[in-house]
Structure 1
């Protein structure tokens, strides 16, 4: 049987420039996501001088800032981090949908990998679980996905 050519990304951040865009809203959760992403990238060889953290007010602003960073062509990848927690109004649904669509569209339009680390949770407890307790740290997962995508794209 013939072997199949496989392209896979190596989790090596050496030599890359990365931007993290993180919301200030719900910062008690988002700061844990940022910490996880930074730690992950540094453990995989990223030089701290090659990392920039950009703070935005909330999730709705994430796509615009990601688009601006991608258009600058100064970064190999971007990690978008935030937390939206459901309240009593439909505001949650609109913010989550538009932020998600905007980030995805930015990635497709620019060709810049964006790690999607926007938590969309029904409760504060769910957000805490996803920011470093029972459900792991979604900031780490977003950074890992972005890094692997960068390395896959380099081979295509």
Structure 2
């Protein structure tokens, strides 16, 4: 029989780090609320969630790298939350490209989940932060729980 591994969405005993961009805070706070709701609903204690605020999405990869190298903090998974909304300049492309590097700085020791929304408009961002399109923060947190369990299963 073929072996199958799959992470469960049960977060009891897990410790999670959520790194949140403060830029576009009216969106990122909704993403964070969604993530906290997911953790609570899936058994992660509030005291087992550490939130780190960074100025913007550009700072997410370097913060992930620092957290992964920390001797002080150890986590089951790291979630990165941010909102990059296209404006009239090429700044959007630079910031969204840098934010996407969170995966490339991951060393494979714990899952690093990309919960940064990149949108063409404020309206799209609002939709992805808890209205029509669900809450991408909630989705990122449930993915983190599932992946933390999968990594534990893999060993």
TM-score with structure 2 setting the length: 0.94
User: 1:115, 1:142 → 2: CA distance?
Assistant: 6
User: 1:41, 1:69 → 2: CA distance?
Assistant: 20
Residue 132 of structure 1 aligns to a residue in which SS? coil
- Output aligned runs, 1:21-32, within 5 Å: 21-32=19-30
Mapped contact 2:110–2:151 kept (Cα < 8 A): no
1:74-123 deviations in whole A, cap 9, x for unaligned?
1111110000100011110011011102x01122x252211211011000
State the partner residue of 1:75.
75
Residue-pair matches, total: 152
Mapped contact 2:18–2:80 kept (Cα < 8 A): yes
Q: For 1:46, which of 32, 44, 52 is the aligned residue?
A: 44
TM-score with structure 1 setting the length: 0.93
State the partner residue of 1:94.
94
Residue 136 of structure 1 aligns to a residue in which SS? coil
User: 2:150, 2:74 → 1: CA distance?
Assistant: 19
State the partner residue of 2:16.
18
Q: For 1:55, which of 53, 56, 63 is the aligned residue?
A: 53
Residue 53 of structure 1 aligns to a residue in which SS? strand
Consecutive unaligned residues of structure 2, counting only runs of 5 or more, are none
State the 1:64 CA deviation: 1.1
State the 1:130 CA deviation: 0.2
Consecutive unaligned residues of structure 1, counting only runs of 5 or more, are none
Mapped contact 1:71–1:110 kept (Cα < 8 A): no
State the partner residue of 1:34.
32
Residue 113 of structure 2 aligns to a residue in which SS? strand
State the partner residue of 2:105.
106
State the 1:144 CA deviation: 1.3
1:33-61 deviations in whole A, cap 9, x for unaligned?
00000110111111111111111000000
